[in-house]
């Protein structure tokens, strides 16, 4: 059987999780990252970000010497398969920024130049169709003398993990997609994953490089569109007397053709993936001559959705000037400290623009929030301090800790108990029965 020795370039959420997971199942893995501070932290058993369960597993694989991190690309020469997991953010015009992919590929090419045995390169980062073949493949062939199908294998293996459940998703994916330049490369990668999954084999789909790249974009675009659809229905329900969107969407989601996942009302999607991936797909589509109006609408709905919280606040207070407003939740979703693209940023900026005094709380993301807002807002050490003296609270991220709060907590700590439930985590009737002014996305007056 092929003896895999794995290297992973880019130790962010995807790269580090993949590296640690592979190492925990007996693979020898080397992680390469350009950021020396990150590398040092990881080698000391610390995570550069918050992800449940990952630290314990990292410490185990470091102890067993199955994994270590380095900045030195030369260590790739001790491996025979390399996953590229660097970031692919948006450029200001929405197009994909491939600079990390290009620089990682060049550094990789520089060390592979000296290698004669076959080396397999797998792109795991989300990249627009054509990138694996025409950017990564071409750089390695044209600039570093590699020969595809001879001493260079090439695959595209999109990642579907979710932050907050990254480890679970890595061990239990719904499917694995392998885009391949040639059959041999695909066989090698399929065999690696089959070895990894042991008794828990997911469906493995073999495709062209471009189809694999497109599957990732199409999946994210579909989920983002489903969220914007749910929010559109919520915004309509908001104007229908006696109509709660939760009842409506429950009724819709029970149709097995539709399914309830990603069909909840809220303040829109954020994060490092959906917004930038939908934008990249739109720009790519336009560049190749198709105007993707459905996806443009998905983004437009999402851009406006966070401001629904402000609209609801203004139903209660004509002006927010001088009010003390508490924002509960900063991370783009629960169980992560990631604030990239978080809707909390838009909401806080708007509140500041309206002249409100903003106090925030988040179980994990405060350090990241400080980098964005510094001393423009107040950071509370716990939920109770956050609520103390507040005129209004907006639930922005649905952390479990917030779901457990009872009406009496809000009534005890707030100056005036006015709640905007941006994530529909509370029962409106329970709160209103306690005399709380309660507003929520998709909940019309009278409901």
| Site pattern 91..110 for ligand NAD (x: CB under 6 A) | ---------x--xx--x---
Instruction: Select from 4, 15, 278, 359 the one that contacts ligand NAD (CB under 6 A).
Output: 15
226 binds ligand NAD (CB under 6 A): no
CA–CA distance, 333 with 112 (Å, rounded to integer): 39
Of 35 and 43, nearer to ligand NAD (C-beta) is: 35
The region of 80-88, 313-321, 350-358, 436-444 touching ligand NAD under the rule CB under 6 A is 80-88
- 163-182 residues in contact with ligand NAD (CB under 6 A) are 163
- Catalytic-role residue among 85, 155, 237, 273: 273
Token pair, residue 108, equals 């990789």
CA–CA distance, 190 with 194 (Å, rounded to integer): 6
Burial class (CB in 10 A: 0-12, 13-18, 19+), 210: middle
CA–CA distance, 170 with 166 (Å, rounded to integer): 6
From the CB of 329, what's the least distance to ligand NAD, in Å?
Answer: 18
Q: Which residues is 419 bridged to in the sheet?
A: 393, 438
Of 159 and 337, nearer to ligand NAD (C-beta) is: 159
159 binds ligand NAD (CB under 6 A): yes
DSSP 228: H
Instruction: Select from 6, 19, 30, 32 the one that contacts ligand NAD (CB under 6 A).
Output: 32
Instruction: Select from 7, 24, 28, 88 the one that contacts ligand NAD (CB under 6 A).
Output: 88
125 binds ligand NAD (CB under 6 A): yes
Nearest residue to 123 (alpha-carbon basis) of 147, 87, 94, 71: 87
DSSP 139: I
Q: Say how many CA atoms lie within 13 Å of 144 toward its Cβ.
A: 22
Is residue 273 part of the annotated active site? The answer reads: yes
Burial class (CB in 10 A: 0-12, 13-18, 19+), 49: middle
Instruction: Select from 7, 10, 51, 441 the one that contacts ligand NAD (CB under 6 A).
Output: 10
| Site pattern 366..405 for ligand NAD (x: CB under 6 A) | ----------------------------------------
Instruction: Select from 70, 80, 272, 335 the one that contacts ligand NAD (CB under 6 A).
Output: 272
Of 37 and 293, nearer to ligand NAD (C-beta) is: 37
From the CB of 340, what's the least distance to ligand NAD, in Å?
Answer: 8
CA–CA distance, 137 with 121 (Å, rounded to integer): 9
CA–CA distance, 11 with 31 (Å, rounded to integer): 7
Token pair, residue 408, equals 């009496």
From the CB of 213, what's the least distance to ligand NAD, in Å?
Answer: 11
278 Cβ neighbours under 8 A, 6+ residues apart: 220, 221, 224, 295, 298, 299
Name the closest residue to ligand NAD (Cβ): 12
Whether the Cβ atoms of residue 419 and residue 438 lie closer than 8 Å to each other: yes
Which residues are identified as catalytic? 273
Name the residues that contact ligand NAD, by CB under 6 A: 9-15, 32-35, 38, 85-88, 100, 103-104, 107, 125-126, 159, 161, 163, 272-273
């Amino acid at each position: 059987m092929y003896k895999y020795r794995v290297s992973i370039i880019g130790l962010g959420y995807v790269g580090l999780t993949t590296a640690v997971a592979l190492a925990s199942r007996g693979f020898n893995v080397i992680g390469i990252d350009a950021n020396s501070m990150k590398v040092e932290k990881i080698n000391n058993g610390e995570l550069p970000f918050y992800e449940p369960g990952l630290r314990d597993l990292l410490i185990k694989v470091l102890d067993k010497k199955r994994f270590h991190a380095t900045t030195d690309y030369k260590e790739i020469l001790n491996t025979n398969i390399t996953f590229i997991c660097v970031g692919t953010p948006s450029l200001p015009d929405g197009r994909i920024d491939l600079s990390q992919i290009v620089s990682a590929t060049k550094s990789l090419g520089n060390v592979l130049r000296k290698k004669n045995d076959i080396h397999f390169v797998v792109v795991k980062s989300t990249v627009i169709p054509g990138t694996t073949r025409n950017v990564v493949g071409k750089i390695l062939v044209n600039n570093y003398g590699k020969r595809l199908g001879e001493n260079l294998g090439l695959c595209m293996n999109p990642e579907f993990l979710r932050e907050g459940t990254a480890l679970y998703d890595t061990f239990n994916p719904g499917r694995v997609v392998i885009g391949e330049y040639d059959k041999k490369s695909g066989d090698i990668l399929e065999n690696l994953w089959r070895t990894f999954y042991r008794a828990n084999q997911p469906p493995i789909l073999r495709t062209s490089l471009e189809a694999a790249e497109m599957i990732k974009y199409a999946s994210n675009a579909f989920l983002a569109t489903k969220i914007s659809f749910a929010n559109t229905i919520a915004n309509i329900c908001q104007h229908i007397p006696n109509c709660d969107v939760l009842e409506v969407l429950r009724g819709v989601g029970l149709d097995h053709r539709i399914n309830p996942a990603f069909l909840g009302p809220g303040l829109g999607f954020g994060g490092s993936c959906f917004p930038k991936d939908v934008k990249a797909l739109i720009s790519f589509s336009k560049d190749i001559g198709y105007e993707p109006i459905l996806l443009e609408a998905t983004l437009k709905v999402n851009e406006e959705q966070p401001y629904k919280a402000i609209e609801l606040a203004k139903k209660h207070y004509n002006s927010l000037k001088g009010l003390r407003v508490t924002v509960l939740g900063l991370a783009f979703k629960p169980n992560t400290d990631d604030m990239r693209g978080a809707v909390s940023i838009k909401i806080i900026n708007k509140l500041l623009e309206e002249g409100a005094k903003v106090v925030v709380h988040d179980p994990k993301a405060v350090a990241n929030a400080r980098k964005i807002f510094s001393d423009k807002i107040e950071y509370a050490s716990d939920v109770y301090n956050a609520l103390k003296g507040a005129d209004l609270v907006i639930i922005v991220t649905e952390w479990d800790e917030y779901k457990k709060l009872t009406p009496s907590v809000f009534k005890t700590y707030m100056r005036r108990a006015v709640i905007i439930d941006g994530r529909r985590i509370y029962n409106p009737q329970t709160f209103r029965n306690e005399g709380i002014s309660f507003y929520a996305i998709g909940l019309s007056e009278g409901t």
